Structure formats: C-alpha cells, structure tokens
C-alpha cells in the first residue's frame, strides 16, 4: 500500500486500502456504535474519503492513524446524530478458549461498561485497547493532548473496575489517600 498510489487514484489502491484497514475500521466503528450496519457504512465512507483525500495526508507513515482518525470521527458523528436513542444489546457467548480469568459475566460487564462510557472516552478506549494505538496517536486521532487522553483512559479504567466490582467480577483496586 503506497500513499502515492492513492494520490494517483490508482484503482488498486482502493482494494489495498480495504484489505489493509477494512476490518480494523469495522472494529473501531462497531465498538463505538454497536451497530453492524452503521459500522459497515463507516468502513465504506472512510475508505472512499481516504482514497479521495489522500493528498491531505502530510506524513505518509501515519496512514493507518489517519485512516483510523477518519473512521473514529465518522463513527462519533453518527453516534451524535443518532444519539437520541441507541438501544444496545449484548448476547452472552460461550467463554472463548484461553480467555482465562474472564468469565462470561465479566466480559459482559466490561463491554457494558465500555458502552456506558461517554462517546469520546469510549473512542479513546477503543483506539487504545482495540487498535493498540499509542497514547500519542490516540491523542492525535481525537485532536486532544496526550495528557487529556491519559486522564480519560484512567477514568475509563476506574469506571470499568467499579463496574466489575459491582457485579462481583473483580475486587476494585483500593486507593489510599
């Protein structure tokens, strides 16, 4: 995948974008939106936007972060426009093999906790822990300072820990003044 091919609007560049980032964009969008159809829309819109606006990308090495940034902003935009009522459901799955230490209840509680986070904080969590972006890249993607992102992630973890504790899934970390 070369940015140059995108800038030249080479047809194969679009397919390469899909191959390289389609699945990851779907994951980011789905975890923010919890809507499969909307996440697929985000994938298509993101890839076409990236393809058509590749000239805007200053640092070719940042293509992945740039694409994820477009996807995140798209998803947050949809989330806002449809935010009046968003009904979410998580159906319990059998525990994944090797998912040691995480019961089905814990898993539901964690995912439920992520969904309860404010949308922007949830986006930060998704980019950090699903897409594995560095704090600096998450900050860049969301247009915030790294310190703000660090604070958001810490707050998110604290809230998730409390959620787990409330359901008996784990003991909350005790902090002493």
Q: Which of residues 53-92 bind other proteins (CB under 8 A)?
A: 53, 56, 72-74, 76-78, 80-91
Share in percent of the chain as helix, strand, coil (round to 5): 70, 0, 30
Is 160 a residue that touches other proteins (CB under 8 A)? yes
User: What CA–CA distance (Å, rounded) separates 132 from 138?
Assistant: 9
Is 34 a residue that touches other proteins (CB under 8 A)? yes
Distance of closest approach, residue 148 Cβ to other proteins, in angstroms = 9
Distance of closest approach, residue 47 Cβ to other proteins, in angstroms = 6
Distance of closest approach, residue 9 Cβ to other proteins, in angstroms = 10
Tokens of 165: 């504790």
- Rounded to 10°, the helix 63-81/36-52 angle is 130
Which residue of 1, 14, 57, 135 would you call a contact of other proteins, by CB under 8 A?
A: 14
Is 97 a residue that touches other proteins (CB under 8 A)? no
Which residue of 4, 52, 60, 136 would you call a contact of other proteins, by CB under 8 A?
A: 52
Burial class (CB in 10 A: 0-12, 13-18, 19+), 160: buried
Q: How far is CA 84 from the centre of its chain?
A: 21
Q: List binders of other proteins among 117-136 (CB under 8 A).
A: 118-120, 123, 125-126, 129-130, 132
Which of these, 164, 168, 34, lies nearest to 109 by C-alpha position?
164
Distance of closest approach, residue 94 Cβ to other proteins, in angstroms = 11
């Amino acid at each position: 995948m070369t940015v140059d091919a995108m800038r030249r609007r080479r047809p194969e560049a679009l397919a390469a974008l899909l191959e390289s980032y389609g699945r990851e964009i779907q994951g980011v969008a789905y975890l923010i939106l919890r809507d499969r159809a909307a996440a697929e829309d985000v994938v298509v819109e993101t890839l076409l936007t990236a393809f058509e606006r590749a000239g805007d990308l200053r640092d070719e090495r940042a293509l992945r972060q740039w694409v994820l940034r477009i996807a995140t902003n798209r998803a947050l935009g949809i989330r806002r426009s449809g935010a009046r009522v968003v009904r979410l459901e998580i159906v319990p799955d059998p525990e994944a093999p090797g998912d040691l230490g995480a019961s089905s209840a814990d898993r539901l509680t964690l995912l439920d906790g992520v969904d309860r986070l404010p949308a922007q904080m949830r986006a930060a969590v998704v980019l950090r822990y699903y897409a594995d972006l560095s704090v600096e890249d998450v900050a860049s993607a969301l247009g915030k300072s790294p310190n703000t992102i660090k604070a958001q992630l810490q707050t998110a973890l604290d809230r998730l820990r409390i959620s787990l504790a409330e359901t008996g899934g784990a003991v909350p970390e005790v902090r002493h003044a």
